Amino acid sequence: MRVWFLSAGLALMCMVQNAAAGTVLIVGDSISAAFGLDTRQGWVSLLDQRLKAEGFDDKVVNASISGDTSAGGLARLPTLLAAHKPDLVILELGGNDGLRGQPPTQLQQNLAAMIDSSRASGAKVLLLGMQLPPNYGRRYTEAFARVYSTLAEEKNVPLVPFFLKDVGGIPGMMQGDGLHPSVAAQGKLLENVWPALKPLL
């Protein structure tokens, strides 16, 4: 009888643990897709390792696609939400919108819709902000950067102001194309995200 109670107790603990475990869905572009690297070296894989090391049972689903824009992410999101039922959605999009010179207002509308859809599904949202190099012109780069801070304020959503802080433009932290973070930068990307992410788990 004692063995039965122990077995039942262990089973109950596992059920509670599984019930508490959540899903973190990352919808991003080449930076989160670890372009040019083995995906096991990317910051998303490092996040998965960090969660396990710190005792979190959350499952990480990386739905990032190289070259994706905010419009592409918005189109993909309903299917992703239905399939994975995430507890937390991390939005890492916008860089390709900016590099293609698309209107910041459109970027803002797309990200706002993604935030609303994610929340409507019951998920929390973390927004990763991006910035453009100065050669795109001061007016455009400032308007682009304001998209993220404006959304964070209007939607009351946690924000990492600049995902590539201490990475972008720094020797050794970028690949030869100057656009994608190197292996050496992946740990820093995770450190940029972790303080805002951890309280949402």
**Active-site residue set:** 30, 177, 180
If we measure between CA atoms, which residue out of 157, 63, 141, 127 comes closest to residue 97? Answer: 141
Q: Label residue 61 left, alpha or beta by phi (over 0 means left) and psi (-120 to 50 means alpha).
A: beta
| Distant-in-sequence, close-in-space partners of 146: CB < 8 Å, separation ≥ 6 | 104
CA distances from 94 to 74, 88, 91, 144 (A): 11, 19, 9, 9
